[in-house]
């Protein structure tokens, strides 16, 4: 008996689901070089345009000169450096919570938080469209795992009635493939009524949402009692890398004691924390970035509606164009690329069957002229594909 990997790969190709890694030969930004071709990109998550910001780069350089380039050990051995500690304090201040805890990736933060909080005899309830890391965390926790209908508080309430043990309700803040917002006020009401905790992964909300970039919890004006467990990633609007969990003193101490993905991994480079401190400062003080980004979102949605594209109800930088068929989504993506634009085709299993799409993402580094170029190209490609 052997693994027939070749057959599995052939089947994926035949279903137009085969994935390949584009090779980036330039820094992140609107203009990139991918696979040797110069392209105008609308597919990264650098929402505030900080990934290649000169001040963030300089902070990393200075941090490397002062602290070296490696974390050296896990946080609980001798890998918890002063920049890590200062960044945790700054993230706690951003979220208005007593403590924050750094993780090396968003996947690890989600795995660590869920598996540390619930186990056998407990219950995890998750939105059907949650990110893969949240779904994996629920399954790995050993708790009773169930999914409620997307963004449906009534569906959640029905499942809460059957929950046993400690119950954790888990949702994305901004759903990464649809761009819509979780109805946090309604979800929080249902969770609190049943004594459950609500955990929000706001990976795509920090930066674009909230008056000060504090994300979906700030956007809705909710408290720590409404959302006891708040997760954010640093590789999107912050422009760097890593993740964090913010919450009460007891929550963070519990994660330090029980979150295996935190305990058993080397800390991120201290210089990276220095860079993130600078990007966090820019996120909080340069409000024009959010204002410009919101103007571009309005421009794109208006133009796309004029063309007749099938948009989703999103006012975030994630602007999916529903196509349906995977082969057609790939074809449109190729047509755009031939015109010098990079827009990703998203297919199952990342999204449900029959809902393949072009996933447009806008950033504060884009210009109005660049967004108009995208709209003009979309109109040409859409009309030719329908001819």
Is 141 assigned a catalytic role?
Answer: no
Q: How far is CA 321 from the centre of its chain?
A: 18
249 closest CA partner among 90, 99, 103: 99
Residue 16 zone, left/alpha/beta (φ > 0; ψ -120 to 50; rest): left
Q: How many CB atoms lie within 10 A of CB 369?
A: 7
Given a contact cutoff of 8 angstroms between Cβ atoms, the answer to whether 48 and 280 are in contact is: no
- The annotation status of 265 as a binding-site residue, yes or no, is no
Is 344 assigned a catalytic role?
Answer: no
- The annotation status of 72 as a binding-site residue, yes or no, is no
Active-site option among 80, 204, 219, 278: 204
Is 176 assigned a catalytic role?
Answer: yes
- Determine the Cα angle at 167 with ends 162 and 173, to 5°: 110
- The annotation status of 287 as a binding-site residue, yes or no, is no
DSSP state of 309: -
- The annotation status of 47 as a binding-site residue, yes or no, is no
Gap between the Cα atoms of 80 and 325, Å rounded: 48
What does 179-246 look like in DSSP terms, one character per residue? -PBP-HHHHHHHHHHTT-EEEEE-TTTBTTBSTTS--HHHHHT--TTT-SEEEEESSSTTSS--EEEE
Q: Which residues contact 249 (CB under 8 A, 6 or more apart)?
A: 98, 99
- The annotation status of 19 as a binding-site residue, yes or no, is yes
- The annotation status of 233 as a binding-site residue, yes or no, is yes
Coil, strand, or helix at residue 330?
A: helix
Active-site option among 141, 176, 344, 355: 176
Active-site option among 236, 278, 292, 366: 236
Gap between the Cα atoms of 29 and 41, Å rounded: 7
- Determine the Cα angle at 107 with ends 209 and 211, to 5°: 10
Burial of 353 (0-12, 13-18, 19+ CB in 10 A): exposed
Burial of 240 (0-12, 13-18, 19+ CB in 10 A): buried
Q: Which residues are catalytic?
A: 176, 204, 236
* Binding annotation for pyridoxal 5'-phosphate: 106-107, 176, 204, 233
* Binding annotation for substrate: 19, 131, 350
* Binding annotation: 19, 106-107, 131, 176, 204, 233, 350
């Amino acid at each position: 008996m052997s693994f027939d990997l070749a057959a599995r790969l052939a089947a994926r190709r035949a279903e137009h689901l085969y994935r390949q890694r584009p090779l980036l030969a330039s820094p992140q930004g609107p203009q990139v070089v991918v696979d040797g071709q110069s392209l105008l990109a609308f597919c990264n998550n650098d929402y505030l345009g900080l990934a290649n910001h000169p001040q963030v780069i300089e902070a990393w350089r200075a941090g490397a000169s002062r602290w070296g380039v490696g974390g050296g050990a896990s946080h609980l051995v001798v890998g918890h450096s002063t920049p890590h500690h200062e960044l945790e304090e700054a993230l706690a201040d951003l979220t208005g919570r007593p403590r924050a805890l750094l993780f090396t990736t968003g996947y690890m933060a989600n795995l660590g938080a869920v598996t540390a909080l619930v186990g056998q005899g407990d219950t995890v309830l998750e939105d059907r469209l949650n990110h893969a890391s949240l779904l994996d965390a629920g399954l790995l926790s050993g708790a009773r795992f169930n999914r409620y209908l997307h963004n449906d508080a009534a569906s959640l309430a029905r499942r809460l009635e059957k929950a046993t043990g400690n119950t954790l309700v888990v949702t994305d803040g901004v759903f990464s493939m649809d761009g819509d917002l979780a109805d946090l006020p309604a979800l929080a009401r249902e969770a609190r009524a049943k004594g459950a905790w609500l955990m929000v992964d706001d990976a795509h909300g920090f930066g674009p949402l909230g008056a000060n970039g504090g994300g979906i919890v700030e956007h809705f004006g909710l408290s720590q009692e409404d959302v006891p467990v708040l997760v954010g990633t640093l590789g999107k609007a912050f422009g760097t890398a890593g993740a964090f969990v913010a919450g009460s003193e007891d929550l963070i101490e519990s994660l330090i004691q029980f979150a295996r993905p935190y305990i058993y991994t080397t800390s991120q480079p201290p210089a990276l924390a220095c860079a993130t401190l600078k990007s966090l400062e820019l996120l909080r003080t340069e409000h024009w970035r959010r204002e410009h980004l919101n103007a571009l979102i309005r421009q794109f949605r208006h133009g796309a509606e004029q063309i007749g594209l099938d948009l989703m109800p999103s006012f975030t930088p994630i602007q999916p164009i529903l196509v349906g068929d995977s082969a057609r989504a790939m074809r449109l993506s190729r047509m755009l690329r031939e015109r010098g634009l990079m827009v990703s085709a998203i297919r199952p299993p990342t999204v449900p069957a029959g809902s393949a799409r072009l996933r447009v993402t806008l950033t504060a580094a884009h210009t109005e002229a660049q967004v108009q170029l995208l709209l003009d190209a979309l109109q040409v490609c859409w009309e030719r594909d329908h001819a």
